[in-house]
Amino acid sequence: MVRLRDLEQRIDDLKEQIRRSHTRLSLLSDTILSGGVGGARAEITFKNDLSGAFRLTGAVFVLDGAVQYNRQDDTEAGVLATQKEIPIFSGSIPPGDHTLQVVLKLRGHGYGVFSYLRSYRFEVPSGHSFTVGEGKTLALDVIAWEKGDVTTPVEQRPSIRYSESTRSGFTGPSSGPARPAPKSGAQGSVSGSMSVGAGSK
């Protein structure tokens, strides 16, 4: 009888140990996902390097299928038209491969002999894949720029390029200089379209 009671007590002790182990595992998982230990982090920033010939009127950023930024603003003094740098995402993400999708909407901007540009509407879609290692922070700049030169048709100039830098941990200086994204995954996938808006001024 005594042995049976001892056995029951040991079973209860084991159950309690298992319950505590599950609790610690759950807390550890939450900590990792929140970026406290291990995990990974991404910092995504949009930079507008377009000239005054273009006004940004819309921007959508989708990270791994989730919309992180979506704003439309066609006013002269709007946030999109005046800000040269916009933070898009900063937080913990699972280590591994990720995909960022971007769609920028632009309109032409000009005065005098260049006032015809105001009737132009542009849409520039792009996609970029990147990988973040365990315990690393990836800084990703999404840069709107104009490719070509003065001889390049205006409808072919708006484009998007990417710049990455990685550092260990979640704080501290970059571990190396920014490196451009591979052409096959970034600029090669960029395409733009231009349309003339009827009656636009």
Helix (H) or strand (E) holding 28, with range, is helix 2-33
81, burial (CB in 10 Å: exposed 0-12, middle 13-18, buried 19+) = middle
Mean pLDDT by 10 residues, the chain (201 residues): 65 67 56 59 95 88 96 78 92 94 83 53 92 94 89 80 90 41 36 34 34
pLDDT at position 62 is 97
Beta strands in 64-119 (DSSP E): 66-72, 85-93, 96-108
Buried residues in 92-126 as b, exposed as e (16+ CB within 10 A):
bbebeebebebbbbbbbbeeeeeeebbebbbebbb
Beta-carbon contacts of 160 under 8 Å, excluding residues fewer than 6 positions away, are 102, 104, 124, 126, 142, 143, 144, 145, 186, 187, 190
One DSSP character per residue, 119-152 reads GEEEEEEEEEEEEE-TTEEEEEEEEEEE-S-TTS
pLDDT at position 181 is 38
- Residues composing the chain: 201
